[in-house]
């Protein structure tokens, strides 16, 4: 019975030490990012640092992205916005150090600082928002609608402004 109690205590302490990391406990390793564009309704593609597409969608949208890409490596994303009649544009979404990571000095200890938070990506955070400005519509890219009318459907003023083409 005593050996079982010691085994339980050692297992509980080991688990507590290995899972303790201040940023892992207080922060997160995945963050929701609000993706928007001007004008809205643009299609977007998010690729990670390795060039792998991790999400496609249209604006506005909220996407949850991991902040880490490996031991002591923060992730970086490129968001490319596309909308018909506008020039494509891209923006970069970079991670930054989470302030909670430094809480390991007081709470998580070396295990949290050197193992748990770097492995889980919790030592990094992502911005809450990412936006792309597609600018003004491209010249010559006006709405491509064609309406056919019979001459009887035109007003007398519109008929008078017609030019005959031979």
- State the pLDDT at residue 99: 55
Burial 79-104 (b: 16+ CB within 10 A, else e): bbbbbeebeebebebebeebebbebb
- State the pLDDT at residue 75: 84
**Percent with pLDDT over 90 in the chain:** 33
3-state SS, residue 143: coil
The band of 152, judged by pLDDT with boundaries at 50, 70 and 90, is confident
**What value does the mean pLDDT of the chain take?**
76
The band of 140, judged by pLDDT with boundaries at 50, 70 and 90, is low
The domain locations on the chain are 27-98+120-136
- State the pLDDT at residue 4: 67
CATH number of 27-98+120-136: 2.60.40
Count, residues in the chain: 166
Decide: residue 75, CB within 10 A, 0-12 exposed, 13-18 middle, 19+ buried.
buried
pTM above 0.85, yes or no: no
State pLDDT tens for residues 18-72.
444 433 444 556 889 999 999 999 999 999 999 999 999 999 999 999 877 766 6
- State the pLDDT at residue 64: 93
């Amino acid at each position: 019975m005593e050996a079982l109690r010691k085994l339980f205590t050692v297992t509980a302490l080991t688990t507590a030490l290995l899972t303790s990391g201040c940023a892992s406990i207080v922060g997160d390793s995945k963050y929701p990012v609000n993706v928007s564009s001007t004008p809205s309704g643009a299609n977007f593609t998010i690729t990670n640092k390795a060039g792998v597409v991790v999400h496609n969608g249209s604006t506005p949208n909220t996407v949850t992205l991991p902040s880490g890409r490996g031991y002591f490596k923060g992730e970086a994303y490129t968001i490319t916005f596309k909308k018909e009649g506008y020039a494509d544009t891209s923006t970069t979404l970079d991670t930054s150090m989470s302030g909670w990571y430094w809480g390991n000095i007081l709470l998580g200890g070396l295990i949290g600082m050197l193992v748990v938070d770097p492995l889980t990506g919790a030592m990094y955070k992502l911005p809450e928002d990412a936006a792309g400005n597609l600018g003004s519509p491209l010249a010559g890219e006006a709405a491509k609608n064609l309406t056919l009318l019979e001459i009887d459907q035109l007003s007398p003023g519109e008929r008078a402004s017609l030019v005959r083409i031979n």
